Amino acid sequence: MRRDVWGMSRANKNQTAINPGGEDVKLTSLDIEVAVAKHFNYRANLIVPNVSWGWGLRHEADLLVLRPSGTCDEVEIKITASDIRADAKKRHPHWEDRRISRVWFAVPFELADCPLIPEAAGILAVARTVRSRDADGRWVARPWREGDAVWRDEVTVVRQARLRPKAERKPVTDKQRMKLATLGAMRIWALKETAANHCREVPR
């Protein structure tokens, strides 16, 4: 998959999404979150989960992707149709903050055509796949099957997100960038504390 100037994955025009097929793969919100962070390339962009009042938002953003240019994408992670339906009832819409340039919905493959997803939002479909060689020796992706030890969660751009008009966008300032990075660092230490507590609870 090609990457654009900001290091973000870009789907080829001929790319086809992979349907998980007969296996009942239940991706969790964490599975999707990690796959999407890799898709947007966390080495090139500042990507922080669960951002709300700490960055001045009046709603919680599941993921914020801040590019070097200062523009910011929001990603909503939904694993069921009822999650998407509930999102529509939020008091404050995702497009309310002018710093948000695009909004994406990241969902399991089977929800990619859900009519409840807002028309202005891009759609990222996530499917668990396995890479193997075909008869000609080429690497191809196939749906994950029970018993596969090695797999990856593939992200396919099903629909591009609508870009907020430039005149309506509000670039992120250096101070706001630093604040978002601080929130991201705080998440790391909270996770380390949780991991440490878990290790103490697990019998050796």
Nearest-angstrom CA–CA distance, 112 and 18? 12
Task: List the structure tokens of 171.
Answer: 């670039």
What integer pLDDT is reported at residue 204 of this predicted model? 57
User: What are the phi and psi torsion angles at 71 (to 5°)?
Assistant: -85, 155
Q: Give the lowest-confidence range in 13-17, 47-51, 121-125, 127-131.
A: 13-17
Burial-class residue 162 by CB neighbours within 10 Å (0-12, 13-18, 19+).
Answer: middle
Q: In this model, does residue 24 exceed pLDDT 90?
A: no
Matching residue, tokens 């939020």: 90
Mean pLDDT of 164-187: 94
| CA–CA dist 33, 106 (Å, integer) | 8
User: Which 3 state secondary structure label does DSSP give 54?
Assistant: helix
- Whole-model pTM: value is 0.80
| Average pLDDT score, the chain | 84
DSSP state, residue 69? T
Kindly tell me if the per-residue pLDDT of 160 is higher than 50: yes
Q: Give me the helices (H) in the chain, please.
A: 29-39, 81-87, 174-201
CA distance 3 to 12: 10
Torsion of the alpha carbons at 48, 50, 53 and 55, rounded to the nearest 10: 10
Among 62, 10, 66, CA closest to 42: 66
CA distances in angstroms from 112 to 5, 18, 104, 176, listed in the order given: 26, 12, 12, 33
The model's pLDDT over 109-149, given as tens digits with 9 standing for 90+, comes to: 999 999 999 999 999 999 988 877 777 777 676 666 676 66
Q: Encoding tokens for residue 45? A: 């962009």
Distance CA 187, CA 178 (A): 14
d(CA 65, CA 79): 20
In contact, 128 and 146? CB cutoff 8 Å: no
